[in-house]
């Protein structure tokens, strides 16, 4: 039995060795080296992975560089200051939020910017004006001043600037609401007199 097993193993080993020798001698390159595709076989068309009917993701991600924004044209060099953001709505008036505007008629400090803007308009119609305050025809009525305070849209930075400083502002009307633009930051607001 052992002799038969040896003969069988020897025969299979010999057959494999013969096949290997035949393969290696038939070509100049080893069998594991890549070769070009045979010319007789036509190339199979590739399926488009990005077709809408196919829900599979492409095997390799494709990087698409985002478009670069164009450089803005530089402003001409002048001696006068250039405003970087023009007012986005019709300007109703400009006013300085002075120290007296930061206090109500009882002498209490106002802490909300909308109330300070409203108090500025009340002071204008009482004759307590700052040098840069402009008159307007709209806020002479107390009800209109209340509407101003209720519909005033302020960013957190603008709110802080009006509350803590004495800025020069412009009041703009936009789509039924009012917006404040800071024209000059002003000094730090003092306590009420």
DSSP state at residue 191: P
The answer to whether position 73 is within a domain reads no
Element (H, E) at 19: helix 2-26
Give the model confidence (pLDDT) of 47-85 as tens digits: 555 555 555 555 565 556 666 666 554 444 444 333 334
Query: Does a structural domain hold residue 24?
Result: no
The number of folded domains in the chain is: 1
Q: Which domain holds residue 162?
A: 91-184
Q: State the pLDDT at residue 95.
A: 95
pLDDT at 78: 40
Tokens standing for 182?
């800071």
CB contact set of 162 (below 8 Å; sequence gap of 6+): 97, 113, 116, 117, 154, 169, 180, 182
- 168 and 162 in contact (C-beta within 8 Å)? no
- Pick from 61, 185, 162: nearest CA to 114: 162
């Amino acid at each position: 039995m052992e002799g038969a097993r040896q003969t069988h193993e020897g025969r299979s080993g010999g057959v494999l060795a013969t096949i290997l020798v035949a393969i290696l001698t038939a070509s100049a390159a080893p069998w594991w080296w890549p070769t070009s595709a045979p010319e007789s076989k036509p190339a199979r068309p590739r399926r488009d992975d990005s077709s809408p009917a196919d829900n599979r993701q492409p095997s390799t991600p494709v990087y698409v560089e985002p478009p670069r924004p164009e450089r803005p044209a530089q402003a001409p060099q002048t001696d006068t200051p250039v405003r970087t953001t023009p007012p986005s709505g019709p300007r109703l008036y400009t006013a300085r939020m002075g120290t007296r505007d930061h206090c109500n008629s009882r002498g209490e400090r106002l802490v909300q910017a909308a109330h300070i803007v409203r108090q500025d308009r009340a002071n204008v119609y009482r004759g307590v004006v700052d040098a840069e305050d402009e008159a307007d025809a709209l806020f002479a009525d107390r009800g209109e001043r209340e509407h101003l305070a209720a519909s005033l849209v302020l960013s957190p930075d603008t709110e802080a600037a009006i509350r803590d400083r004495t800025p020069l502002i412009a009041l703009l009307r936009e789509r039924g609401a009012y917006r404040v633009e800071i024209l000059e930051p002003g000094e730090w607001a003092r306590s009420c007199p």
